[in-house]
């Protein structure tokens, strides 16, 4: 492979720990575990599946904070170093010109994507079932809500950090009510963030005998990372085991110009529930990635992931190593 070019803003201050001595895996966990506990807020039952981006001299994020009423609510947070977070006690309130769309029912599993001078928030938004809410902010104080991207039912709306074919682009996972026993990743484009089309299929769950950790359903994770080899996508996969659902995550490389065409896709998982805080919680056996930070110059990447639907974890790796690993162990 020629020298890899990684796009993105320089981020020398990103959270980082070097690979521990003796660590053989391509990604490794942060020694601070978890980085965000479930009770960081006075009324939070759990804080997980959240989105983080560089902002100002530090970092900002939109966090899923299920409260002690067990309502799924979004909150804004800030950090100087990406691991120690101050999360606003007051829930995030969206401004919306359409009262029907802006009426809050529930929201969870946000992602944040910067394009130009705006930060776009997508989340699983309650509107007669789960669909993809879309909003934007410039300051993480005022959030302008737009039309929902799709009809119910849909989850895991993940935007690309640049326009494709002159359009905004998003990955999503059409679903149904409840704990959907299926799920493929699809790609869509929009000229204006209101009307979405050019829907294309990206990936299906793998066959059980090929890669069992992702054989039931899959969904896009953090914002894809643009590299000279393609779009690096972290995605979650689900195994329906005899002990229930098991969520882990792996990686894929998508074509730069036609991102609905995967080039490589990992057979093994990168991270799967193994630590106590991933195995035990409100929903056991879950590692669910929603955000990443990376520094193009060093190739470092830090992936934020929800653990057992209760707390937030962090894993590190090097993008060139992950791409080479994905290529080596690809199932396509």
In a domain, 33, yes or no: no
In a domain, 245, yes or no: yes
Domain count, the chain: 1
pTM over 0.95: yes
Specify the pLDDT at position 180.
Answer: 78
In a domain, 82, yes or no: yes
In a domain, 11, yes or no: no
Tokens of 92: 């995030």
In a domain, 155, yes or no: yes
The length of the chain, given as a count of residues: 332
In a domain, 67, yes or no: yes
CB–CB of 86/77 below 8 Å?
A: yes
Specify the pLDDT at position 176.
Answer: 82
CB–CB of 323/232 below 8 Å?
A: yes
CB–CB of 277/34 below 8 Å?
A: yes
The CATH number of the domain where 220 resides is what?
2.115.10.20
In a domain, 269, yes or no: yes
Specify the pLDDT at position 177.
Answer: 79
Give me the tens of pLDDT residue by residue for the chain, a chain 332 residues long: 679 999 999 999 999 999 999 999 999 999 998 999 999 999 999 999 999 999 999 999 999 999 999 999 999 999 999 999 999 999 999 999 999 999 999 999 999 999 999 999 999 999 999 999 999 999 999 999 999 999 999 999 999 999 999 999 999 999 987 777 789 999 999 999 999 999 999 999 999 999 999 999 999 999 999 999 999 999 999 999 999 999 999 999 999 999 999 999 999 999 999 999 999 999 999 999 999 999 999 999 999 999 999 999 999 999 999 999 999 999 99
In a domain, 319, yes or no: yes
Domain enclosing residue 53, as ranges: 40-328
Please calculate the CA angle 232-263-189 and round it to the nearest 5 degrees: 65
């Amino acid at each position: 492979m020629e020298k890899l070019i990684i796009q993105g803003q320089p981020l020398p201050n990103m959270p980082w720990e070097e690979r521990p001595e003796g660590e053989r895996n391509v990604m490794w966990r942060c020694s601070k575990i978890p980085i965000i506990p479930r009770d960081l807020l006075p009324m939070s039952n759990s804080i997980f599946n959240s989105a983080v981006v560089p902002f100002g001299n530090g970092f900002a994020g939109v966090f899923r904070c299920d409260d002690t009423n067990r309502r799924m609510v979004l909150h804004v947070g800030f950090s100087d170093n990406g691991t120690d977070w101050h999360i606003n006690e007051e829930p995030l309130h969206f401004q919306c010109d359409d009262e029907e769309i802006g009426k809050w029912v529930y929201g969870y599993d946000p992602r944040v994507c910067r394009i130009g001078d705006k930060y776009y928030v997508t989340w699983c938004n309650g509107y007669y079932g789960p669909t993809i809410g879309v909003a934007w902010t410039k300051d993480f104080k005022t959030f302008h809500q737009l039309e929902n991207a799709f009809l119910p039912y849909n989850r895991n709306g993940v935007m690309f950090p640049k326009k494709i074919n002159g359009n905004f682009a998003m990955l999503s996972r059409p679903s149904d009510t409840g704990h959907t026993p299926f799920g493929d990743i699809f790609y869509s484009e929009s000229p204006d963030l209101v009307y979405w089309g050019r829907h294309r299929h990206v990936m299906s769950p793998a066959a059980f005998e090929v890669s069992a950790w992702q054989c039931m359903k899959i969904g896009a994770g953090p914002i894809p990372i643009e590299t000279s080899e393609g779009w690096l996508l972290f995605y979650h996969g689900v195994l329906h085991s005899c002990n229930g659902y098991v969520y882990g995550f792996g990686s894929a490389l998508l074509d730069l110009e036609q991102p609905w065409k995967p080039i490589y896709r990992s057979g093994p998982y990168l991270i799967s529930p193994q630590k106590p805080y991933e195995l035990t919680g409100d929903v056991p056996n879950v590692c669910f990635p929603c955000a990443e930070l990376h520094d193009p110059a060093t190739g470092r990447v830090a992936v934020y992931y929800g653990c057992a639907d209760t707390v937030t974890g962090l894993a590190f790796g090097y993008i060139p190593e992950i791409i080479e690993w994905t290529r080596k162990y690809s199932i396509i």
